[in-house]
Amino acid sequence: METKSDEQAAPEKTIFNAIAQGDLDEFNNILSHHKGSVDLFDENGMTALQHAAYKGNKEMVQLLLDRGADVNSGKHEYNYTALHFGALSGNSDVCRLLLNAGAKPTATNSVGRTASQMAAFVGNHHTVATINNFVPLSEISYYSVPRGQQTEPYLPPVLVEPLHKFVLGVNIHPVRLALNIQHTPVLLENADKASKVLEMLCKREMTRGSDTNEVMAFKYHYLSYVLKEIHNIRDKQKSNTDKEEKKHDPIEIFAKKLLKPGKDGVSLDLMDSFLKDCVREFPYRECTTFHQMVTALTSKDPPPALSVINCTINGQRGFVDAIPYCSTCGEEKPAKKCSKCKMVQYCDRECQRLHWFVHKKACNREPAPPMTTPNNAKANIDASELTSQLQNLVTG
């Protein structure tokens, strides 16, 4: 290691050192003294932004973007973009920053792979889902401006950001969505308006011709369906103005209905039928995505509708074996365990509390097998070629 940067070098050289060492102070210092474009190239044709993305350094990526770094610039010999590097780093926040700045998710490298495919190849599943679920803010804000004869827009401007965040969410478990809505009162209060705008987004997506993204269209429909259901429950509860607040909380009612086990005490029959109804009401029955879901749901031994929908929206998992999930909302790698039996996991007290009416029957009984997910999907890309390319991706 002879790369101590005490030598007085050009900003090109020192900035790459600062990125490599994760030295944010030094990085800031160099940027503050540097005038002009921050699209600086190293000897391999990689930009500073690409290096910061590859390091998964959110702060540096943000600073470079603030200084006007070109998110689609680069002369890397394998045609990797900043988003490819961000995808390889596995930092979903970095990828979201790049996408918000206009990174093209469809750009391919020299072996024809997109950033999301590269993330899948190295097992960064959250990043895959983040990229595949991305929608520019302008798609949502389009509806916050009155058009034609309108005196009021479909979407109150205050809803643009919360709805955008809601759409970008990767965990599509209906209880997670409900909890997210609960934490965003403005979305809960305007659930009907948000639901209608999501249906419009769905329609708009399906009428883009060759640019149509059926999966995204289905996701809009799905989110709209959940919001509509919560709005309906809320409407019914409005007349109930009595003291037992929790009992009449629409999110509470929605979540407990979906989490209630069926006759066998395990399978979530009500959730399954709610989600099947949602698929059934998708208005575009000619499309491939709809056919694939129906084929899966009507097969001989059908998987739960939740996993069919999750596979549709977030794609198959590649290499991951057993990831723990929150028993209430499906969030990956939850922080807490049931302190009594240690057999089930939760994000937090709220998730545990919501699930207790189910779990109390199983808690402290004989130990159940740990929760696992089947390792069912194989990566269908040529592993050897990619592996060798990854090895010499960043020289030095």
**Minimum distance, C-beta of residue 149 to Zn ion, in the bound complex (Å):** 44
At a CB cut-off of 8 Å and minimum separation 6, what does 98 contact?
A: 53, 61, 65, 71, 82, 83, 86
**Minimum distance, C-beta of residue 348 to Zn ion, in the bound complex (Å):** 7
- Whose Cβ is closer to Zn ion: residue 253's or residue 329's? 329
Q: In the chain, count of helices (H) and strands (E)? A: 20, 2
Which x/- pattern over 328-367 shows residues binding Zn ion (rule: CB under 5 A)? xx-x------x-xx-----x---x-----------x----
What is the identity of the amino acid at 278?
C
**Minimum distance, C-beta of residue 256 to Zn ion, in the bound complex (Å):** 14
- Whose Cβ is closer to Zn ion: residue 180's or residue 328's? 328
Residues 204-243 that bind Zn ion (CB under 5 A): none
252 closest CA partner among 318, 327, 350: 350
- Whose Cβ is closer to Zn ion: residue 243's or residue 365's? 365
Tokens coding 153 = 């827009």
Tokens coding 92 = 């979903």
When binding is defined by CB under 5 A, the residue of 326, 354, 358, 394 that contacts Zn ion is 326
**Minimum distance, C-beta of residue 265 to Zn ion, in the bound complex (Å):** 15
- Whose Cβ is closer to Zn ion: residue 186's or residue 363's? 363
Q: How far apart (Å, rounded) are the C-alpha atoms in residues 227 and 195?
A: 6
Q: Which stretch binds Zn ion (CB under 5 A): 12-20, 102-110, 154-162, 320-328?
A: 320-328
Q: How far apart (Å, rounded) are the C-alpha atoms in residues 219 and 199?
A: 10
**Minimum distance, C-beta of residue 309 to Zn ion, in the bound complex (Å):** 18
- Whose Cβ is closer to Zn ion: residue 272's or residue 331's? 331
Residue 259 engages Zn ion in binding (rule: CB under 5 A):
no
Is 259:328 a contact under the CB 8 Å cutoff? yes
Q: How far apart (Å, rounded) are the C-alpha atoms in residues 238 and 207?
A: 37
- Beta bridge mates, 222: none
Q: How far apart (Å, rounded) are the C-alpha atoms in residues 304 and 313?
A: 15
- Whose Cβ is closer to Zn ion: residue 178's or residue 338's? 338
**Minimum distance, C-beta of residue 323 to Zn ion, in the bound complex (Å):** 14
Q: Is 209 left (phi over 0), alpha (psi -120 to 50) or beta?
A: left
Q: How far apart (Å, rounded) are the C-alpha atoms in residues 247 and 249?
A: 6
**Minimum distance, C-beta of residue 310 to Zn ion, in the bound complex (Å):** 15
Interface residues toward Zn ion, by CB under 5 A? 326, 328-329, 331, 338, 340-341, 347, 351, 363
